[in-house]
């Protein structure tokens, strides 16, 4: 999920300027030839920064994303749904874990990355600042949010940085499974009672536009896409991916018998694409600026977990140190 | 659909009791997911919860088959009221801090590992099959909780204090694991479920070993709280079920 970091401006020194021109040319040639860049390879500082930001934001999104869905684990309406949701949220934690590991290969520790999240310096996907109000939201997240994530992530399986590309292969498999699960929840609701179908429609109404925003600002406003495209970190533009998502998703929604909350949505025979209305970019900017419905709750929940866990992590470190000391003392004794 | 009442035979009650144990404990552990002290524990506690949820589902399905009224696992989990729940009081206790959660998991898993081992030779073939799978899971639960209890007990002053408090708080619920109702005796004699007395030595040994490594003192066996198996619970269970069952109760007859 969650390539919104690629829309942020890199604030470091300009790429290539003070760096070795020859190395840079070799790097650019390798990337152009679709070679994978590995952690020990030389890379421009801006490439390293962009990827660290992107991978860590992706990891943070997975971790914060556990909260809105975790909100329904204890209330899942059947044991089968409960098991699937628990496993799904756990998958997300797993994604977070190996994405942090991939980011660490670029030289920033997980502790530093987590500190950046908790201090508000690092971002996570805007989508998780929306609340999960009914069980149908769990279906809608799987169908729309994971669906949008897959559109974003399939191309990342071919991204130029090796560890990220490899992590994405596994993540994409699991996300596809989640997406099908989510759609199946929606299908069950839509074939259920009128109250259940109304629940599904309400969830689509609330999640549709935020899902479209997940792809980031329109290409015209996303000046940072060029370099990321040239370095093959990113392979399609925001608008291209958004259109792919709309084209894939609208027929699925119609099959469910649901109505999209967009009066301008219509199929354009000439282009073969679904045309959609104007996205409320002011809402998007406000959510990114911290003013979404749940920004405060999400970050407070992460901070609370971190703060409440301090004594546990300290205990684990203290115990490990005691063990080492005892082992060293025993070896010393044996040697004497 | 309003609440259901199960006409319990001793066998049905015994199976429901273990199903309720697993479900209620899974519910508590799942509350940690997203809020654990470290990401690895979000995953590990989620794993244990998933194991227990799987056990609960197998056991409810078995209970429904014994009952023979074509009820589903969900009917049994979602439509019985608190007095119909047969779980141990220990497992419905709120999570508290991480030490409390780990102590609760350790004390119960140390009991369930030998229990499932013994149940693998149950004369009830379905229970024996469930036990064969659950025994492997319980071995991991004991190891995971035991390792954490050692770290916490033999960690910092604070973690030692919190672990001691958790043991003191929860110890009064451990006697219920070893108590038997008169109606269970024929089941034990028929080899359907193990006698808790044969579990005791293994439990005592595991507890002694881990507490010693953890530099924690075993609390004295005082008055033990009983009642869960008969449906007389602590105040905690009603709240847990209100959360867990609310969708099924609010939309009677809907399928999800």
ipTM attached to this prediction: 0.97
Domain ranges of chain B: 10-250
Token pair for A301: 């929940």
Q: What is the pTM of this model?
A: 0.95
Cross-chain Cβ contact B251/A195 below 8 Å:
yes
Write the DSSP assignment of B25-56 as a string of letters.
HHHHHHTTTTTSSSHHHHHHHHHHHHHHHHHH
- Residue A140 near residue A204, CB atoms below 8 Å: yes
Binary contact (A301, B98; C-beta < 8 A): no
Q: How far apart are CA A164 and CA A241, in angstroms?
A: 19
What is the distance between the alpha carbons of residues A96 and A86, in angstroms, rounded to a whole number?
16
Asked whether the beta carbons of A160 and A231 are under 8 A apart, the reply is yes
Q: pLDDT for A5-48, tens place per residue? A: 666 666 665 544 556 889 999 999 999 999 999 999 999 999 99
A11's CB contacts (< 8 A; 6+ apart) are none
Helix (H) or strand (E) holding A274: strand A273-275
Contacts of B53 in chain A (CB under 8 A): 79, 82-83, 86
Residues of chain B whose pLDDT is less than 70?
1
HEC profile of A96-114 = HHHHHHHHHCCCCCHHHHH
Check pLDDT > 90 for residue A187: yes
Give the model confidence (pLDDT) of A67-82 as tens digits: 999 999 999 999 999 9
Q: Tell me, what's the pLDDT at A16? A: 45
Minimal Cβ distance to A79: which of B33, B73, B155: B73
Beta-carbon separation of A314 and B162 below 8 A: no
B192 contacts chain A (CB < 8 A): no
Nearest-angstrom CA–CA distance, A249 and A247: 6
The third-level CATH classification (topology) of the domain covering B10-250 is: Ferritin (1.20.1260)
Chain A, chain B: beta-carbon pairs less than 8 Å apart: 142
Cβ pair B156:A311 closer than 8 A: yes
The DSSP 8-state label assigned to residue B85 in this structure reads -
Say yes or no for a CB contact (<8 Å) between B46 and A93. yes
pLDDT for the residue A20: 83
CA atoms within 13 A on the CB side of A16: 9
B162 at the A interface (CB within 8 A)?
Answer: yes
What distance in Å separates the CA atoms of residue B118 and residue B131, rounded to the nearest whole number?
A: 8
Judged against a pLDDT cut of 50, whether residue A1 lies above it is answered with: no
Mean residue pLDDT of chain A comes to 93
C-beta atoms of A196 and B246 within 8 A: no
């Amino acid at each position: 999920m969650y390539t919104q970091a690629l829309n942020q401006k890199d604030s470091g020194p300009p790429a290539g300027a003070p760096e070795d021109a020859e190395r840079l040319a070799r790097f650019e040639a390798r990337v152009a030839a679709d070679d994978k860049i590995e952690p020990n390879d030389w890379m421009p500082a801006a490439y390293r920064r962009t990827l660290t930001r992107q991978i860590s934001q992706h990891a943070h999104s997975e971790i914060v994303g556990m909260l809105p869905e975790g909100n329904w684990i204890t209330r899942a309406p059947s044991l089968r749904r409960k098991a699937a949701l628990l496993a799904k949220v756990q998958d997300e934690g797993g994604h977070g874990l190996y994405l942090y590991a991939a980011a660490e290969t670029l030289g920033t520790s997980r502790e530093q990355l987590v500190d950046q999240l908790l201090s508000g310096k690092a971002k996570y996907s805007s989508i998780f600042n929306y609340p999960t109000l009914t069980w149908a939201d769990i279906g809608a997240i799987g169908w729309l949010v994971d669906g949008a994530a897959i559109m974003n992530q399939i191309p990342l399986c071919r991204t130029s940085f090796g560890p990220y590309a490899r992590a994405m292969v596994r993540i994409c498999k699991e996300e596809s499974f989640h997406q099908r699960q989510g759609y199946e929840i929606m299908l069950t609701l839509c074939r259920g009672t009128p109250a259940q179908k109304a629940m599904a429609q309400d969830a689509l109404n609330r999640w549709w536009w935020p899902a479209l925003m997940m792809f980031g600002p329109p290409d015209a406003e996303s000046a940072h896409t060029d370099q990321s495209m040239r370095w093959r970190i990113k392979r399609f533009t925001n608008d291209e991916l958004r259109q792919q998502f709309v084209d894939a998703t609208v027929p699925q929604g119609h099959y469910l018998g649901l109505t999209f909350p967009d009066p301008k949505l219509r199929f354009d025979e000439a282009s073969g694409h679904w045309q959609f209305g104007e996205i409320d970019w002011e809402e998007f900017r406000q959510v990114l600026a911290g003013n979404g419905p749940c920004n405060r709750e999400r970050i407070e929940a992460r901070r609370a977990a971190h703060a409440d866990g301090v004594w546990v992590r300290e205990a684990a470190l203290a115990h490990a140190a005691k063990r080492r000391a005892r082992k060293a003392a025993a070896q010393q004794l044996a040697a004497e | 659909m309003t609440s259901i009442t199960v006409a319990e035979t001793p066998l049905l009650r015994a199976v429901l009791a273990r199903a309720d144990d697993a479900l209620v404990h899974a519910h508590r552990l799942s509350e940690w997911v997203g809020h654990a002290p470290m990401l690895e524990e979000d995953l590990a506690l989620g794993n244990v919860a998933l194991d227990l949820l799987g056990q609960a589902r197998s056991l409810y399905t078995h209970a429904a088959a014994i009952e023979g009224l074509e009820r589903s696992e969900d009917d049994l989990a979602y439509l019985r009221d608190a007095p119909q729940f047969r779980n141990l009081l220990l497992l419905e206790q709120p999570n508290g801090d991480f030490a409390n959660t780990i102590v609760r998991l350790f004390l119960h898993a140390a009991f369930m590992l030998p229990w499932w081992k013994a149940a693998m030779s149950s004369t009830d073939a379905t229970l024996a099959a469930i036990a064969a799978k659950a025994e492997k899971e319980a071995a991991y639960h004991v190891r995971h909780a035991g390792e954490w209890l050692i770290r916490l007990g033999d960690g910092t002053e604070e973690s030692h204090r919190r672990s001691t408090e958790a043991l003191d708080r929860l110890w009064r619920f451990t006697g219920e694991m070893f108590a038997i109702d008169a109606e269970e005796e024929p089941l034990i004699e028929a080899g359907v479920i193990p006698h808790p007395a044969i579990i005791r030595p293994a439990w005592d040994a595991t507890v002694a070993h881990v507490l010693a490594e953890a530099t924690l003192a075993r609390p004295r066996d005082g008055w033990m709280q009983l009642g869960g198996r008969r449906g007389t619970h602590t105040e905690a269970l009603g709240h847990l079920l209100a959360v867990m069952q609310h969708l099924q109760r609010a939309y009677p007859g809907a399928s999800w």
